[in-house]
Structure 1
């Protein structure tokens, strides 16, 4: 089983991510993991960063370590998907983002999504038949995609971690760490 101190974690986001759902996991994971990178698609407001959403307005920029096209599963043990409404709605329309998430799923690596980010798991066909949670406004989307939706702070099945909202970040990060330390997850990859 890998130790979290040796783990390498990728965070995938774009402009409009919920500020706390990227900032807090990034800082908490940086404190314990070997490496945490942020990647984003090329289309964004600023060249070297992405801008969060906080308190119904634009938040703070976060430095981007690499373009989405440069990211691969080979270096990383997990991918973290912050929520917000704009961020996952934009990313779920990006074939390259969905391809990367599907690669993490196929490789048995940890895939963690909070708030509205389970939309990306729906797009990657990763929730059908699995217990999961999300922000309450996308509960019907999750159920329609075949998830066994529950109203719990954090849910993990087969190394796929889901969480409801910023109030659940502590439990979300703790579960990511636990799942990384469990190692590779053998799971059925569902056909599209």
Structure 2
């Protein structure tokens, strides 16, 4: 199983990238970092610069067909940049069109709003996205993790870094994976 982690070139919340990445890697799978630009992705600890991570491919050169599932880490700047990148939005949407599972945490649902895939779904997120998601047709809940099987694609959402244990468990379950 190939799992894509989609991030912008800069601004991903580091822990929301690294902990799900490590959870996927613990299953024996090799996650792939897909970004809007080649080179490295600069992560952040809230507003402070953190580590850089090598990009495995860009949305311009990588086919979503090569992957079985998608993870969208949060951070404020990351999904804000992704949602204005047409190729990134199309990349994310393609997983829904193909009926592949998607997991999104914190502010990541902003990208999904732009991809027009949240209507009639029950979701959670960082609380400030509640109005955005509701206006886009989603039913927002304040829960550590929410799994929605509406439509062709399963969607796992979570609120914040403190919810990562719940998010990772649900993500792996929905991806059909368990730790090796």
**With structure 1 as the length reference, what TM-score do the two structures score?**
0.86
Aligned partners of 1:170, 1:73: CA distance in 2, in Å?
A: 27
- State the distance in 2 between where 1:23 and 1:86 align: 17
- How many residues align? The count is 172
Instruction: Say which SS state the counterpart of residue 80 (structure 1) adopts.
Output: strand
What residue is the counterpart of 2:4 in the other structure? 10
1:160 to 133, 155, 162: 155
Question: C-alpha root-mean-square deviation of aligned residues, in Å?
Answer: 1.3
For 2:101 and 2:93, how far apart are their aligned partners in 1?
Answer: 11
Q: CA deviation at 1:79?
A: 0.5
Structure 2 counterpart SS, 1:129: coil
Measure how far apart 1:119 and its partner are: 0.5
TM-score (norm 2): 0.91
Q: Which runs of 5+ in 1 are unaligned?
A: 1-6, 183-192
Moved more, 63-72 or 100-109: 63-72
Gaps of 5+ in 2: none
Map Cα deviations across residues 114-150 of structure 1 (whole Å, 9 max, x no partner).
0000001111111111100000011111111111100
- 8 Å CA contact 1:8, 1:33 repeated in 2: no
Are residue 30 (structure 1) and residue 25 (structure 2) matched?
A: yes
Post-superposition, which runs of at least 4 consecutive aligned residues in structure 1 deviate over 2 A?
none
Match of 2:116 in 1: 125
Q: Aligned to 2:170, which of 171, 175, 178?
A: 175
Q: For 2:31, what is the secondary structure of its paired residue?
A: strand
Q: How does 1:106-125 map to 2 (within 5 A)?
A: 106-125=97-116
Using the alignment, how far apart are the partners of 2:64 and 2:79 within structure 1? 20
Q: CA deviation at 1:177?
A: 1.2
SS at match of 1:35: coil
The reply on whether 1:141 has 2:132 as its aligned counterpart is yes
In the alignment, which of 30, 41, 57 is matched to residue 48 of structure 2? Answer: 57
Which range moves more in the overlay, 67-76 or 22-31? Answer: 67-76
User: Structure 1 55/124 Cα, relative in aligned 2: closer, same or farther at 3 Å?
Assistant: closer
